[in-house]
Structure 1
Amino acid sequence: MPNPLFYKNVIPLSTEIHKNLKFSTKSQPLGFARDANLIPALVDEFDLALDDLPIAFLPAADVPSAVFVTGLKPGMNVFISKDGLWDGKYAPAYLRRYPFIIGDVEGGDPILCVDDTYEGLNEKEGEPFFTKTGESEETLLRALSISQSYKTSADRTDAFTKMLHEMGLFQSISLDAVMPDGEKTSVHGLMVVSEQALAALSDADLGKLNAAGFLKPIYSHLLSLRSISRLGQQLDMPSVAAEESVPAGETVQ
């Protein structure tokens, strides 16, 4: 399987191999995300981020993926400052989890893994992962808690996007913008929930969405689209607009 976004070499943490490993914050904590204009999003953080980050979806072979739009073209993230910090109200959980991740083991329990290329990992300075007797330190317990919570929410997000996809609620859009230097740019391949398709749902399907707790995140997603202008404000851009890529009422299957 290819590595997830930002992860270069994922390995399981071991009390034997990594008994002396320590964790320290890099000088530019989020510099690794500077070139990412799309960041994975969790359904459980939609309402927390909607005032700051536009939420959209990417088509995939199995189920669509939820993403925060953080830039108007590949290689651009308008929320990462020169100091490698998050310049916004809400920092996505995906960034806060890195460099840790839960790895699935065939026939065994999931295990906490780490990207061992992360510059903040070393054996000289920082917060230790293990005690001298091999017990987990607070740093490791905190990383495990964040990673487990992320995985649980990611599974719920997959269920959310799968249900919306099966109900035919997605439509394609493109984000069109004029850069400060006059360059015109567009972000293609994004999807949003069609309000017309949502309004046309049967009572039975609306009941399914409500029972799953998915109506609130749908409306949070739709409200977040007002934040598209925020992308331009970060760069003092004159205009940013979202346009449908398919006629109104048609959905992407």
Structure 2
Amino acid sequence: MPQWIVVSRSQHIGMHYIKHDGYHYAAKQSVASVMLAELPKLLPHYVLGFIQQEGRYRPVAMLSLDGQNNHYVHSDGRWLGSYVPASLRGYPFSLADIEGDQKHSVWIRLC
């Protein structure tokens, strides 16, 4: 099962990642997290939804009607929409907060 970890300069020095080839990794993803700054580019192409998480609502782009298959990913990995949400463009990296810390950290998803 994939997990998210904080990227550390001391623990991950000398490591690298292989850039993804297409959007196959998002084929089963039914929503994508979105930032408020990207809403003007996002709204003409996606239905916006909100997911409750830890007492707050966060905006998401709806990518699936059936909750299982991302309708924006072609079988060859191409993105079929004209705008790709930033959370998917930056994969496998993400910005997130560490609990109890006011700073943002860079996280990476390990498979």
Shift of 1:64: 2.1
The correspondence for 1:94, drawn from 82, 87, 109, is 87
* Runs of 4+ with deviation above 6 angstroms: none
Where structure 1 has 5 or more consecutive residues not aligned to the other structure, the ranges are 1-6, 118-253
Greater fraction helix: 1
Asked if structure 1 preserves the Cα contact closer than 8 Å seen for 2:63 and 2:71, the reply is: yes
* Larger Rg over CA atoms: 1
Change (3 A) 1:17 1:31: same
The correspondence for 2:17, drawn from 23, 27, 31, is 23
Mapping of 1:100-139 within 5 angstroms?
A: 100-102=93-95, 103-104=97-98, 106=100, 109-117=103-111
Change (3 A) 1:115 1:89: same
Change (3 A) 1:64 1:19: closer
Where structure 2 has 5 or more consecutive residues not aligned to the other structure, the ranges are none
Task: Identify the structure with bigger relative contact order (alpha carbons < 8 Å, sequence gap 6+).
Answer: 2
Greater fraction strand: 2
1:68 aligns with 2:69: no
TM-score (norm 1): 0.38
Q: How many residues align?
A: 110
Change (3 A) 1:59 1:104: closer
Shift of 1:61: 5.3
1:58 aligns with 2:16: no
| Whole-angstrom distance in 2 between the partners of 1:22 and 1:61 | 33
